[in-house]
Chains A and B, each alone.
Chain A
Amino acid sequence: MAQAVVTASKLRLVFQVGMDDEGKPVLKAKTFNNIQKSAAPDQLLQAAQALIGLSNDTLSNIERVDNADLLA
């Protein structure tokens, strides 16, 4: 059976920085590399909330980005 082995994890915070002419939100993402591959969603959320608390930007989304190697 094929396996996916996570090689790197990232935490991505998406902020809404304004509106464009058509009223669509303008988003800006900030990525934090070097996240523990074993991090649980609760832990990620805890860290993300601490980070967001320091910024004036309005949060839109918190994402986790995983890179994985596929092995046959």
Chain B
Amino acid sequence: MAKTLELEFVTEFGKTARLSVDNPKEPIDESVVKAAMEEMIASGIFTSTNGNFASVKGARVIDRNVTEYEIV
């Protein structure tokens, strides 16, 4: 079970940009995630084809489950 935390930002031009973090700390504390995202925006290093990160849009955890079947 591989979980990733996907962080969604709004860029200067109003588009969405995403960053993902593997193996997130759980349970997810919304205020901690928000603070970390704001810190990332404040650092001002992230950009995208749609401009720099401007505000926080949201966050979600994606749980990927793979079941392998051996088909003979």
Q: How large is the interface on A (under 10, 10 to 19, 20 to 34, 35 or more residues)?
A: 20 to 34
User: Given A47-B39, A50-B40, A55 and B22 touching (CB < 8 A)?
Assistant: yes
List, in ascending order, chain B residues with CB within 8 A of A44's CB: 43, 45
Is there a chain A Cβ closer than 8 Å to B13's Cβ? no
Residues of B within 8 Å of A, CB-based: how many? 25
In the complex, the answer to whether A34 meets B47 with C-beta atoms within 8 Å is yes
Name the distance in Å between B20's Cβ and chain A's nearest Cβ.
Answer: 8
Is there a chain B Cβ closer than 8 Å to A23's Cβ? no
Task: Knowing that A36-B44, A54-B25 touch, tell me 10 more A-B residue pairs with CB under 8 angstroms.
Answer: A34-B17, A35-B47, A36-B45, A36-B47, A44-B43, A46-B39, A56-B24, A56-B25, A56-B26, A57-B23
